Amino acid sequence: MKQHEEGNKFDLMKYRLESAKSDLKSAKILIEAEEYRAANNRAYYAIFHAISAIHALDGKAYKRHKDALGSFNREYVKTEVFPREIGRKISRAEEIRHASDYDDFYIATREKSQEQIETAEELIKMVEEYCKNSMGKEE
């Protein structure tokens, strides 16, 4: 999508999903460079942008991460559109990202970073499938 170009909710969903994939790619590069704190950040943002892609289909946008995650949990995890286990993994990824970004003495490990990347990969696949099905229903 070009900058300042207007589009529909599907365009926004696709843009946000591409952002999620780009963040995931960055997380993988960072883990290989042994930059685990930064890898945790990018993996979390891959998760956040994937969730934001779902919200785009509903015509919603949130300024605060807390609100976006809360809405996703209420509308998609508690209703079991997405499995509860992914909701728990997302919460854990948010905690780890926060610690990585703001806790001075947090020690990020390759194992924890790999977990975050795997959560992001898992969620992106689920979101892609959900969005594909949603597009098919409305086109």
pLDDT 10s digits, 20-63: 999 999 999 999 999 999 999 999 999 999 999 999 999 998 98
Residue 6: pLDDT band (50, 70, 90) is: low
Please name which of 30, 31, 78, 56 lies closest in space to residue 127, comparing C-alpha atoms: 56
pLDDT value at residue 4: 46
Give me the phi and psi of 62, to 5 degrees please: -125, 135
Which of 13-22, 54-63, 74-83, 117-126 shows the lowest mean pLDDT across its residues?
54-63
Region at 135 (left for phi over 0; alpha for psi -120 to 50; beta for the rest): alpha
DSSP letter for each residue of 49-105: HHHHHHHHHTT---SSHHHHHHHHIIIIITTTSS-HHHHHHHHHHHHHHHHHHH-TT
Residue 138: pLDDT band (50, 70, 90) is: low
Q: Which two tokens stand for residue 136?
A: 């098919």
54, 36 contact by CB (below 8 A): no
Residue range 80-114, pLDDT digits in tens: 999 999 999 999 999 999 999 999 999 999 999 99
| Number of structural domains found in the chain | 1
Question: Residue 107 is part of which domain span?
Answer: 9-138
**Is 1 domain-assigned?**
no
| 4 domain-assigned | no
- Looking at residue 7, the DSSP 8-state letter turns out to be -
Is pLDDT at 2 greater than 50 in this prediction? no
Q: What is the CATH number of the domain that holds 53?
A: 1.20.120.330
Rounded Cα distance between 129 and 89, Å, is: 19
Distance CA 28, CA 75 (A): 30
1: pLDDT strictly greater than 80: no
Answer whether residue 3 is part of any domain. no
